[in-house]
Each structure stands twice: as C-alpha cells, then as structure tokens.
Amino acid sequence: MASPAARAALTRVVPSAFGRLSRRGARGRGALDGVDPRGVATSSSSGEKKKRVGGVAVRATTRLSWSSGARSFAAAAHVDDGELPPHPIQTQRVSKLMSQRGMASRREAEALIDRGDVIVNGGEVATRGMKVAIDATIDIAGDSDGGANALLAKKVTVVLNKPPGYVSNLPSRGEREASELITPRNAIYHHSTGGGVVGGGADADAATRRKLEDVCRDARALNVCGRLDKDSRGLLVLTTDGVLARAIVGGNEIPKVYEVVVDAIATREQLAALNGPVALDGERLLPMRVETLEGTTLRFELRQGKKRQIRRLCEGLALRVLDLRRVHVGTCDVGDLPEGRWRLMSEAESASIRAAGLAAAGNDPNRGGRGGRGGRGGRGRGRGGR
C-alpha cells in the first residue's frame, strides 16, 4: 500500500486525472506535461519510464479513454511499493438512506430504528447513527404489536381547495389560517363501500368519521407543501409525510399548474417573454410553460416556486393578475372539490408524487442513491406564495 509520501508524489506526477488532452501531435495544446499522446508518462532517462519525485520512484501508466465529443481521460498510476488502495466504500446513515429511498422521513426512520424495527442486509438490527454502504438492503420488520406499521400509517396528506382571504400558514394577528378549514363539516370523502364522492364527515360511516376527526384534531400539525398567498386560491397540500413534502417542495421535480386571469389578452411577445429566460431578484429561474387557455386566462406550469413569482412576472409585462388558481400539484388535481372543502390525498396520488420526486433526485427506492437536496414542508418552510 502506498505511503503518504508516495501518494503526495503521485498527485504531483499525474497532476489531475481529468484535464483536457489534444488528440493531435506529441505536444498539442492541452497535453499534460510528462504524458505523450500514446498515454505513457515519460522521463528524461532512456531506461524504464519512471520519474523520481521526493525520493519515491513512480511508474505512471496513463490509459486514455475517449468519449464522444469529449476529450477526457482516466489515469491509472502505480507506485513501486504497491498498488493504490481501491476507492473507499461510500457509506451513509441508515436513517438518511431510508429517507432518500422514500421509506420514511428522517424523523420516522429514527423512531423505527429506536424501536429495533429496521434490519440491514437481511440480519443486522440497525442502531441510531449507524452507517452502512449506500447500496445496503434495508427492511422494516413487522413486529407482533404492529408498532412499525402503525407509526407509518399515521402519515396523513390533505388536499384543500383554499379560498382567497386565508393565509397558507404563519398567520399574523387577525388573519385566518387555511388549516382552520380542516373540519369534519368541510370534509369530502370516498365512501368505503360506494366508492363515490359523497357528502361531509357527518354522513360518513363510523370508521371514516373517526379518521376524519383524528385529522381535524391535529390539523395544525399538518405541514404546508408550497404556499399560496392570501389573495390566491386553489389546491393546497398539507401533510405529515416528510418524504412527500420533500418531493413537492425540496426540489424541482414536481410540476405545479396554475390558471391565471389577467386584465388583457396576452400578446405573442408577452407569451414569448414568459416562456423565455426570466430572472427575479438577480436569480435566473427555471423555464416555465405558459399558454393562453381562453381569452385572458393563461395556464402556467412551474417547477420552481418563488414568492409571488407569477404576479411579479406578469406585472413586469404590464399584465395585472385578477385571479390566480392552482389546479395541479403533480398528479394531484383539485378537480371538482368545492372551494373551502378538503379531502384526503389518495394512495395513487401520493405514490406518484413520491416516485417522481425520488426518480428525479437520482434515488432508486430499492438501492442506494445519491440523494436529492432535502427540503421541508414545515409550517414555516413551504415554498411558494404565487
């Protein structure tokens, strides 16, 4: 195994493994010192191709790997006193891997670990703070009292059709918060036997009514996933599911669709400007898709949410927003949900949003992944405010 001195010498002999190399000529522009175009490190002596740096003889053999349209190479070098060690195995905390794979939020994962319900690689019981290889197998064990399943089953996601006049969260004195609308009277649900949308919580069967009452009792604990400002209306997602919240607000994977009424018919030039490169407060925004639905109604599709983004961009083009309504978050649709009423997000909607967020962040739910940039949907954290 290479000594520290040998490693230091090696980094000086083969400077950076990823410079640019010309395919023309022995010393074309971009060639590295000490490397000829055949990829062999040279020395001034006529014997073995070695270079002595800091008292360590280094034999450098550099293999060039050309990729289409890119001039890059991978360098493999050896020192006389042994091979360099292989790249260290990447490890990560079990709780973070569980969060990245969509198994549970970080807090839920730690609770399951503390209970002894998390099994690594088929046999080892995970402990808090434990690190494992990023491709480790992680399972949640079902125990006799059903505690693990009960913990995960507590996740609740509410879809609310917010009317104007309510703030999404963090109300100032005298303001009304959207969570005040999460009451049994305002609930719309899918009947457990009939399968269709039927009235409010008062008409529900006993089991459904208990579930609705539980949600309403803890409504202020729900986290907002993407705020709507006080004057805006439409689909507002509130949840206790940390993984789903991160998928919605923690990255740019889940599209949000808005129907916006402005005070004039948008011209071709105004639409082109909205669909082109735009910036707010000196920050360039991700591209939007904007089109005219009918008359003065525009459809905006965003993957990034900045405070009052739509209103500010329209104002910059002399278009005044008269009404702004969010109609989609990913596959979740406000549909015909009456204004001021709420329902539980379906399993299909939740699974679709989770999967989209994990896939775009580079996480395979069944294997290790690099993990997307985390985000929180907490009461003071949800992005947005269109």
| Residues noted as catalytic | 229
Structure tokens at 107: 């807090």
Strand (E) or helix (H) holding 279: strand 279-280
CA distance 65 to 53: 26
Q: Could you tell me which of 115, 110, 2, 105 has the C-alpha nearest to residue 59?
A: 2
Residues 6+ apart with CB under 8 A from 354: 102, 243, 244, 247
Question: Residue 204 in 3-state DSSP?
Answer: coil
Strand (E) or helix (H) holding 98: helix 94-100
- Asked if 159 and 345 touch (Cβ cutoff 8 Å), the reply is yes
CA 143, 144, 150, 153 torsion-angle sign: positive
- Asked if 117 and 48 touch (Cβ cutoff 8 Å), the reply is no
- Asked if 134 and 97 touch (Cβ cutoff 8 Å), the reply is yes
Strand (E) or helix (H) holding 8: helix 4-13
CA distance 191 to 194: 5
The DSSP string of 347-365 is HHHHHHHHHHHHHHTT--T
Rg (the chain; Cα; Å): 29
Strand (E) or helix (H) holding 268: helix 268-275
Check residue 70 and report its DSSP letter.
Answer: B
Strand (E) or helix (H) holding 271: helix 268-275
Query: With left for phi above 0 and alpha for psi between -120 and 50, is residue 333 left, alpha or beta?
Result: beta
CA distance 177 to 287: 31
